[in-house]
Structure 1
Amino acid sequence: MTLPTQDTRVTYPVGELVQPARVLHVEPVDGRLVVVTDVTSFHPVDAAWPDQPADTGVIEAHGVSLTVHEAVVAATDGAALHLGADIPVRKGTEGWSFAVAHLVDGDAAIAEGDPVAITADASARRALSLGHTACHAASLALNLALASRWSKPARPDALGNPDFDGIAITSSRIEPGGSLDRYRLNKSLRRAGFDVAGLLEADLDGLARTVGSTVQDWVFANAAVRIDRDGDGLTDRRTWVAELPVGTAAIPCGGTHADSLGELGDARVALQLVDDAGTPVLEMRTGVTV
């Protein structure tokens, strides 16, 4: 059994869906086979920040299409392969290789050394890419709309506004054609200088209209989007870059995206307050035309 000795090369950051590859490692795990290849077009879910779900699709081996039930980030130090939340080190740790693990049926006819073709589903990829791009745009627009509610200097976002999104966010979930972000309005946020009380009493529908209007302005401008990369390896740094009318925004991101905000169509933003064990939480949901 041969474990990978270098990071998987990934082609999804440049929009690839189909990728010829060679199988480096196969092992059974919980009734499935884990398949690691030298290169893949599949975007995997990352347990460290599982905001974007994995691609769906198939691996074709020996003329047979094998359904990929799950794709996750895996890691090895040469002794064993660790999957998802079981990875004991941070991504990029020296002496470790990080890979995309494709999980297929346990009786699949696939072996180390096999040439294969990996295909990610185009419609599922596009829906998640639109949702992820909308998420970034809405977070920047929310920061802008809340900028006047800070009484102390706060770290800036990619456009120079106080980064409410980065400071208050507790979870982000990319969905087909949208996203759901959750922000805790707690004592730490108040101590940082944010007017939590004012936001709790604010007209959230009006705030959502303001955020949505900003996003829609960027959609009408057809703002270009690209992914800058330090390399093709799974752990190489990647950055979402949008040429917005108000300036260039750059946000570290390992997900997939649309090529422009113009692709979002009729972008929608909704805000609501929910309770989490006594702490108010602001939820922002986006939706776009898929």
Structure 2
Amino acid sequence: MNSTLVTFPGGRTSGRSPIVGTVPVGGLHGLVVAETPFHPLDHTWPDQPADRGTIGGLPVVDCVTGAQSKTGEVLLGEAVPARRGDEDWEWLVVHVTPAPLPVGSEVDLEVDADFRAALSAGHTACHLAALALNAALAGRWRKDVRPDALGHPDFDQAAITSSRIGPHGSVDVYRLGKSLRKKGFSGDDLDPAQVARQVNDRLEAWVAADAPVRVDVPGPGLTARRTWRCSLPEGEASIPCGGTHVSGTAELGRVEVALSLEDAALTMRTTCGN
């Protein structure tokens, strides 16, 4: 099998393609096609959940990243030992279904567009919240640190331990321990409510600006290094990203964050919607 070509970065939610392989997934069946609109769960940074929908009329109960070695062995999800994009592997989108379909048959692929739209909104809001959090915490750095695309110290990339996208929102967890202090960040007397107000004020302005959002797509492969971009009033923001997004910030409606601090970890919960 060759690496799967994907159309979800351009916003596609439907397509037609031949089945090129099958993979056992427990008691279920993993179907691989030549080209798919389905976004799978990433095996290295599982932030955006898999798309829902149907393939050949069958429900897609899960959609995961797979990798085929030079010997033909296919591994799935966390079992993949290679780094994303390793050229020694073929990278596959595996559609998990309750029944098989024959290799070689042409099938229609239909993504649940409403669920995709909700995840896309949650993912865009997540990126905006991270940038706004960077700005709100910029004065707490005592050492030079790599800046984000807007010129603020990139707290998000320096401290994040997990990010989970959901419909119309996300949950991001940041570690504020010794390693971050060594990098020059001071969390002393950090008031989560005060920081959240600063973040929310910035988010309100960004939504009102209806800043255009796009994903730069250098190629059709699953592991192509795609980049999220947003033309904010402060400048062009960019973040490496393999997920899906809305086309403008006004589509998000109201975006708000809530911050909580516990056990040297800062948790940011972001929600969006009208």
TM-score category, normalised to shorter length:
over 0.9
Q: In the alignment, which residue of structure 1 is the partner of 2:74?
A: 81
TM-score by length of 1: 0.92
* CA displacement at 1:26 relative to structure 2: 1.4
1:33 aligns with 2:21: no
Whether contact under 8 Å (1:227, 1:240) holds in the other structure is yes
1:102 aligns with 2:86: no
Q: In 2, distance between residues paired with 1:29 and 1:52?
A: 21
* CA displacement at 1:100 relative to structure 2: 0.1
Q: Which runs of 4+ in 1 moved over 2 A?
A: none
SS of corresponding position for 2:97: strand
Q: In the alignment, which residue of structure 1 is the partner of 2:113?
A: 122
1:67 to 33, 49, 59: 59
SS of corresponding position for 1:196: coil
1:271 aligns with 2:254: no
Q: In the alignment, which residue of structure 1 is the partner of 2:167?
A: 176
The amino acid of 1:232's aligned partner reads P
The amino acid of 1:285's aligned partner reads R
Q: In 2, distance between residues paired with 1:26 and 1:87?
A: 17
1:12 aligns with 2:8: yes
Q: In the alignment, which residue of structure 2 is the partner of 1:138?
A: 129
* CA displacement at 1:13 relative to structure 2: 0.3
What are the ranges of 5 or more consecutive residues in structure 2 without an aligned counterpart? Answer: none
Q: In 2, distance between residues paired with 1:246 and 1:164?
A: 18
Aligned length: 273
The amino acid of 2:116's aligned partner reads R
1:224 aligns with 2:217: no
Q: In the alignment, which residue of structure 1 is the partner of 2:227?
A: 239
After superposition, the Cα gap between the structure-2 partners of 1:173 and 1:103, relative to the gap in structure 1 and judged at 3 Å, is same
Whether contact under 8 Å (1:35, 1:103) holds in the other structure is yes
Q: In 2, distance between residues paired with 1:154 and 1:256?
A: 28
TM-score by length of 2: 0.97
* CA displacement at 1:216 relative to structure 2: 1.1
Whether contact under 8 Å (2:193, 2:258) holds in the other structure is yes
* CA displacement at 1:109 relative to structure 2: 4.6
After superposition, the Cα gap between the structure-2 partners of 1:72 and 1:109, relative to the gap in structure 1 and judged at 3 Å, is closer
RMSD (Å), alpha carbons: 1.0
The percentage of aligned residue pairs carrying the same residue is: 49
| Residue correspondence of structure 1 range 45-60 to structure 2 within 5 A | 45-60=41-56
How far does the alpha carbon of each residue in 1:243-265 deviate from its partner, in whole angstroms, 9 at most, with x for none?
Answer: 00000011100000010111110
1:196 to 173, 187, 204: 187
Q: In the alignment, which residue of structure 2 is the partner of 1:288?
A: 272
* CA displacement at 1:29 relative to structure 2: 2.5
Whether contact under 8 Å (1:189, 1:196) holds in the other structure is no
Whether contact under 8 Å (1:74, 1:83) holds in the other structure is yes
Range with bigger deviation, 249-258 or 77-86: 77-86
What are the ranges of 5 or more consecutive residues in structure 1 without an aligned counterpart? Answer: none
* CA displacement at 1:144 relative to structure 2: 0.4
Q: In 1, distance between residues paired with 2:193 and 2:85?
A: 42
